[in-house]
Structure 1
Amino acid sequence: MDGLLLNTEDIYTITLNEILARYSTGPLTWDVKIRLQGLPGPEAGRRVIEHYNLPITLEDYDRMNLEIQSSKWGSCAFLPGALELLNYLHGKGIPIALCTSSNKTKFKGKTSHLTHGFDLFDAIVTISDPRIPKGRGKPHPDIWQLGLKLLNEKFHSNIEAKDCLVFEDGIPGVQSGRAFGAHVIWVPHPEATNYLGDVDKVLGERGELLTSLEKFDPKKYGL
């Protein structure tokens, strides 16, 4: 969801820079940010505190994050090509699941004002789902495994991971998609381009790098 469907990565940057400014440090740069994308909130928070040597606890960080972010979720919007892709897949009857590292509260905050889009998903899994073991967020594959399980239950199907496409924007998400066994469509933030590292190594043999969801060709995958 974050940074792939919605513009929340830019909102996260603004929020974190406000926190860093309180301690006369920052700003957040993409060489750091790219290591935070897709991680569960607590893990990302710990990395920020450690990298910037902030004199606060994770609880302090979470409280400030929640306070600032809550005032900004109303500006969440779909990124180019995202809503069009969801409409296309739904219209073709292709099972789609949202699997996000955001918890349920943040998911609602980011999406409640969007009247159309997330209603198209056949299954929605947030990181706070009790069926995901603690500590098994991305880059572990558990969230995708649960999403696929829910799709198979709904459609009485037997879809396998190797038959799935995982759409991601961050490296931990790409790694989790590969660990899951799917083909990964990687759509990084434009400003992350110079910090992706060895793209072929990250993607492996089952993946594709795109500059935008607008560039995704569903017919290439028989959709």
Structure 2
Amino acid sequence: MGYKKSPPIYAKICNRSPYRQPGGENRAEIFLPNQISLCSQRNGEFLCTQLTQKTNHPRHFRHGRSLARYLSLLYTTHTEKFYTEVQEKILARYNKTFDWSLKAKMMGRKAIEAARVFVEESGISDSLSAEQFLVEREEMLQELFPTSELMPGADRLLRHLHAKGVPIALATGSHKRHFELKTQRHGELFALMHHVVLGDDLEVKQGKPSPDVFLAAAKRFEGGPADPSNVLVFEDAPSGVLAAKNAGMFVVMVPDPRLDKSFHDTADLVLNSLMDFNPSEWGLPPF
């Protein structure tokens, strides 16, 4: 396809996207995941304004058409560091190291699913069950979560889009108790969400990479279900990126720099920070 790129990442994203929308209708609504994972996601649909020729690429849109209409947040609070800290301590007792290859398999999943991965992949399942691990981890996390800080750029982005009338939802694998602990210092900001879908919601039968949490969130916007192909998700977890793509949505990934870059490939866009997100590239009101 013919296009001009600026900056280079745009070309990279366009070239690797395997998605085409039937009938040539190209729209995207914004879904910002909060990871808690703030509809984490760090991933987003955008590139259209950089194309110099019309294409069938899903990010291409005709002049005057808004690309983003809904935001689902999965990525607003910085809590992954707490999981890492606690899990490092637990494995150290068994003379084992908690590395990012294991963490990548756990991120974004429901607690019991991540716990099974942890004990089995680390080889300690004969000494510590998934259920025992969760009980031990919970005690330490209860003390850490209330100190959660917002991710850089989250406050600015949410307040800006809310002020401009862009609907925002939060879709997270966290259950209610953890969500309340993680957000208790940031109630005003999270009140800007149109709705929140948690990991223990009755509609969320399976955790990521199942699309359940995103599909449930898309249903609850005012005026009826949002078309998944019109949703933009921000994610930091590989399983969250897959979940959003499995839901038929577009994803902006904002990964930890320690995450292996091979996990970036599924995302439509990879950013170093939410501070780097440019709303105008999505047809959204500029800052």
Q: Shared fold by TM > 0.5?
A: yes
Paired position in structure 1 for 2:135 = 63
Instruction: Give the Cα separation in 2 of the matches to 1:15 and 1:87.
Output: 32
Paired position in structure 1 for 2:52 = none
Q: Give matches, 1:141-156, under 5 Å.
A: 141-151=211-221, 155-156=222-223
Alignment counterpart, residue 116 of structure 2, candidates 23, 46, 54: 46
Is 1:2 the counterpart of 2:32? The answer is no
Alignment counterpart, residue 271 of structure 2, candidates 205, 210, 219: 210
Instruction: Give the Cα separation in 2 of the matches to 1:198 and 1:50.
Output: 21
Instruction: Give the Cα separation in 2 of the matches to 1:128 and 1:64.
Output: 20
Q: Report runs of 4+ in structure 1 exceeding 6 Å deviation.
A: none
Q: CA deviation at 1:158?
A: 5.1
Instruction: Give the Cα separation in 2 of the matches to 1:158 and 1:48.
Output: 36
Q: CA deviation at 1:23?
A: 2.5
Paired position in structure 2 for 1:199 = 264
Letter in 2 for 1:164: V
In the TM superposition, what whole-angstrom CA distance separates every residue of 1:179-211 from its partner, at most 9, and x where no partner exists? 11111111101221xx131633x23xxx11111
Letter in 2 for 1:36: M
Letter in 2 for 1:199: H
Instruction: Give the Cα separation in 2 of the matches to 1:179 and 1:147.
Output: 14
Q: CA deviation at 1:58?
A: 1.5
Q: Specify every segment of 5 or more residues in structure 2 that has no aligned partner in the other structure, as ranges.
A: 1-34, 38-74
CA contact (8 A) 2:253 2:264 kept: no
Paired position in structure 2 for 1:219 = 280
In the TM superposition, what whole-angstrom CA distance separates every residue of 1:19-78 from its partner, at most 9, and x where no partner exists? 11233322x211221121111111111111012222111121110011010011122000
Paired position in structure 2 for 1:77 = 149
Is 1:130 the counterpart of 2:202? The answer is yes
Instruction: Give the Cα separation in 1 of the matches to 2:279 and 2:242.
Output: 22
Q: Give matches, 1:78-97, under 5 Å.
A: 78-97=150-169
- Cα RMSD after superposing both structures: 1.4
Q: Please give the secondary structure, in 1, of the residue aligned with 2:115.
A: helix
Is 1:114 the counterpart of 2:181? The answer is no
Q: Specify every segment of 5 or more residues in structure 1 that has no aligned partner in the other structure, as ranges.
A: none
Larger Rg: 2
Alignment counterpart, residue 162 of structure 1, candidates 229, 232, 237: 229
Is 1:35 the counterpart of 2:69? The answer is no
Task: Sort the Cα spacing of 1:105 and 1:57 in 2 relative to 1 into closer, same or farther, 3 A.
Answer: same
Q: CA deviation at 1:161?
A: 1.0
Q: Give matches, 1:19-34, under 5 Å.
A: 19-26=90-97, 28-34=98-104
- Deviates further, 101-110 or 114-123: 114-123
In the TM superposition, what whole-angstrom CA distance separates every residue of 1:69-120 from its partner, at most 9, and x where no partner exists? 0011122000100111111121111111111011111111111122421111
Instruction: Give the Cα separation in 2 of the matches to 1:56 and 1:198.
Output: 29
Q: Please give the secondary structure, in 1, of the residue aligned with 2:186.
A: coil
Q: CA deviation at 1:215?
A: 0.4
Paired position in structure 2 for 1:187 = 254
Q: Please give the secondary structure, in 2, of the residue aligned with 1:34.
A: helix
Letter in 1 for 2:133: Y
Task: Sort the Cα spacing of 1:158 and 1:105 in 2 relative to 1 into closer, same or farther, 3 A.
Answer: closer
- What count of residue pairs does the alignment treat as equivalent? 211
Query: TM-score scaled by structure 2?
Result: 0.70
Query: TM-score scaled by structure 1?
Result: 0.90
Instruction: Give the Cα separation in 1 of the matches to 2:207 and 2:121.
Output: 21
CA contact (8 A) 2:233 2:251 kept: yes
